Amino acid sequence: MSLEPTVMAFETSCDETAVAVVKGNVILSNVLASQIEIHAQFGGVVPEVAARAHVEAIRGLTHRALAEAGVHPDDLDGIAATQGPGLVGALLVGFEFAKATAWARQLPFVGIDHMEGHLMAPRLSFDEFAAPAVVLLASGGHSQVVHVKGWGQYDVLGQTIDDAAGEAFDKLARFMGLGFPGGPAIDAASEGGDPTAIKFPRPLGNQRYNVSFSGLKTSVVTFLEKAAASNTLPPLADVAASLQEAIVDVLVQRTFNAVEDTGVEMVGAGGGVIANRRLRQRLTEEADRRGVAICLPGPVLCTDNAAMIAAAGAQWLGEGMYTAFDAQVDSALRL
Ligand code: KG4
Ligand code: ZN
């Protein structure tokens, strides 16, 4: 197989049905059907509803992805799909559809760890992104600081001991009545706010890599309840900017602790929370200050997409690594 194979990939681990075609690290198409409007009415992702919506969307999206890429199925070198982690019913739709397509077309198939997809996303925009690197992964279900020693050689230095960063954004936004998903809502609400207005806690400050956000959540909720009771609620923008700053501070600090300790000169990031404007600004400033390179994928490649899964698929298929057709999804897969 070519070292830059043409790969079609499927991503259905949560609430986006996504299909993409890449050649090596070059995106030929990257299409997506978001279920945000369906789940917003419930205030969060309903697994059964997500799985059904994936079933409805996946065939049409596959045709669109091939048409936009200008690729005939005969020109594909392989198929990839997210194997886990994620919602089991949702994962099953993309994974089984991908296996069936690969079987029918007699193409090699590879199952991909969703977090490895996020970790490889910077490659789609930056030729220079290479190991060794420190990568910050921050999504709805995960917050991890990873020392990437090589592709497939991941040393997870730290992670959350309770809520993930995205989960903290989502829960706080729900409490504040800002809707779902919470990250973009808080990002928008923080516009013009003073990030130093309210000093929320930065938990586990004595740890180099692990993070914890559940205490922050309690602290914000307690603060808002007291302020409401005494009629001293500060402007929403100040609250949003201040709680966002607490999350951003912790993530930036842990990332650069890892840069310091490993001595690497390359920083990458992936996952929905990396779309956060303040986080992007602070990560970039800190990298510049230290003179290390930083590769932040654009927002569309931070949130869930299939191009990142295809990039990981191209890596492994290019190296001749396949997944057997009797493989199963694994909702608890770990890097
Ligand atoms: O990676 P992702 O799309 O899905 C998972 O793998 O979980 O991440 C979704 C998470 C959600 O918690 C969402 O609120 C958060 O990413 N997110 C953001 C922003 N955009 C999405 N968090 C903060 N600021 C944003 N702009
Ligand atoms: Zn994700």
* Ligand 1 proximity of 5 Cβ (cutoff 6 Å): no
Tell me how far CA of residue 172 lies from CA of 144, 240, 327, in angstroms: 20, 9, 38
Determine whether the shortest distance from the Cβ of 82 to ligand 1 is under 6 A.
Answer: no
What is the reported pLDDT for 62? 98
Ligand 1 atom closest to Cα of residue 302: 1
3-class DSSP state for residue 26? strand
Task: Judge if the beta carbon of residue 287 lies within 6 A of ligand 1.
Answer: no
- What crossing angle do the helices spanning 214-229 and 236-262 adopt, rounded to 10°? 160
**Does ligand 1 lie within 6 Å of residue 140's CB atom?**
yes
Tokens standing for 85? 């982690």
Q: Ligand 1 pocket check: which of 243, 273, 296, 301 to mutate, most ligand atoms within 8 Å of Cβ? A: 273
Residues of the chain with pLDDT under 70: none
The alpha carbon of 79 is separated from its chain's Cα centroid by a whole number of angstroms, namely 21
Number of Cβ within a 10 Å radius of residue 165: 28
Structure-token match 């960063």, residue found: 165
Would you state the pLDDT for residue 29?
A: 98
Specify the pLDDT at position 3.
78
CB 122 less than 6 A from any atom of ligand 1 = no
CB 322 within 8 A of CB 110: yes
User: What is the C-alpha to C-alpha distance for residues 31 and 120, in angstroms, rounded to an integer?
Assistant: 18
Q: Is the CB of residue 86 below 6 angstroms from any atom belonging to ligand 1?
A: no
Pick from 141, 207, 188: which is nearest to 168 by CA?
A: 141
CA of 272 to the centre of ligand 2 (A): 6
Among candidate residues 82, 110, 66, 13, the one with its CA nearest the CA of residue 308? 82
Rounded CA-CA distance 42/50 in Å is: 12
pLDDT tens readout for residues 298-307: 999 999 999 9
Q: Note the pLDDT of residue 75.
A: 97
Give dist(CA 1, CA 320) in Å, integer: 7
Contact (CB, 8 A) for 201 and 250: no
Alpha helices per DSSP H over the chain = 36-40, 47-69, 88-105, 114-120, 165-175, 182-189, 214-229, 236-262, 277-290, 299-302, 307-318
pLDDT at 2 (0 to 100): 79
Pocket test of ligand 1: the residue of 113, 119, 139 to mutate, having most ligand atoms within 8 Å of its CB, is: 139
Q: Specify the residue with its C-alpha closest to ligand 1, atom 23.
A: 183
Interatomic CA distance for residues 24 and 66, integer angstroms: 16
8 A C-beta contact, residue 333 and residue 161 = no
CA 296/CA 322 separation, integer angstroms: 29
Nearest to 259, CA basis, from 285, 210, 293: 293
Q: Hey, which residues does 10 pair with through a beta bridge?
A: 19, 81
C-alpha to C-alpha distances, 158 to 118, 212, 257, nearest whole angstrom: 16, 11, 11
Protein residue with least CA distance to atom 16, ligand 1: 272
Q: How far is the CA of 174 from the centre of ligand 1 (A)?
A: 14
Nearest residue (by CA) to ligand 1, atom 7, is 140
Per-residue tokens: 19: 């299909």
Residue with token string 């989960």:
167
Q: For atom 13 of ligand 1, which residue has the closest CA? A: 183
CA of 186 to the centre of ligand 1 (A): 11
Task: Quick: pLDDT tens for 150-194.
Answer: 999 999 999 999 999 999 999 999 999 999 899 999 999 999 999
Nearest to 328 by CA among 88, 15, 12, 54: 88
Kindly tell me the sign of the dihedral angle through the C-alpha atoms of 304, 286, 159, 163.
negative
Q: pTM score > 0.95 for this model? A: yes
